[in-house]
Amino acid sequence: MSGQLRIVLSIAMVLTLGPNTAWSNTSAESLITGLRDKSVIVVAHRGCWEPAPENSIEAIDRCRAKGIRVIELDVRTTKDKVLVLMHDGTIDRTTNRTGPVAELTYAELASARLRVGAGGAAASVSGESVPTLAAALIAAGDDTIVNLDVKDADADEVIAAVIAAGMRERVILKHRADPRNASSFCTDRLSGFFVMPILDERRVVRPDRVIREILDTCGDRKSFAFELIFSRIEYARRALKADYGVCNLSWWVNTLRPEFSAGLTDSLAKDDPESVWGVLTDMGFDLIQTDLPVKARSYLALRTRDEPKERSVSSYCSPA
């Protein structure tokens, strides 16, 4: 990947928030701002992959059928420069064939069949082939946000492709915050994009200070969302409770692994969702990425969405 920018792209097409509420032809900025007060949004990690294969068209279709409107997918490049969906560097775990993605042509890759669920040698083989990124975006339709984790592809080429498709204002760019370089989130290169900084406790000691610096440096942006990766609850609380003097801040958290969310994981939420998704919701997180999207959505739909108990007042104010 060229340069120092490791990005995650979210193609913000249209988000359905409820039975009679839809966003259409909106910018990513307006969409995220609109999320803040209406609901906690569930993000399906690699699609709804159980019992469908992960990163498959079927996984996308299952999410749409279940009402999951934000889907995370992984992108890599084949030997002949075709963008495809694949998490690992090889196809060994997820298909009935073997080999590195970067050393296979798309024709060779397309002959493989995806294994069901999270894959592995014991998993049954489906009739699904490895999809191209283009096919995945078509499958997502006009009612889904697709979060693209760019594993091994040229960031500039992906950005150029998005611009060429006329999607600049409907794309979210995520990359890790460098406490020494707040201006990296508002460069000419990113002009017109909605940018979501990732603050990782392992790299950023004082998240509140870095967030303030980013907001001050990129003050012409009307709203922001931040992703937090933390091993201690106190770290997230410091970020979410600070008074930044601005409206419309939204917050993304992953409940996939203990080091992402202070041990508040899907494995715990499976039996006690309140102790994980409930706690994170009360802290003020708006977007929760999970491997249990259907269960999370069902739980959150029944849970009253009050004003977050721990969020600062100013970050929950009404837009000007």
User: Active-site residue numbers?
Assistant: 45, 87
Q: Reduced to 3 states, what is the DSSP secondary structure of residue 67?
A: coil
Cα–Cα distances (Å) from 83 to 42, 146, 161, in that order, read: 26, 15, 11
What's the CA gap between 60 and 45, in Å, rounded?
11
Residue type, 256: L
How far apart, in Å, are the Cα atoms of 261 and each of 216, 243, 272?
27, 22, 16
* Amino acid found at 140: A
Does residue 84 contact residue 137 with C-beta atoms inside 8 Å? no
Largest pairwise CA distance in the chain: 55
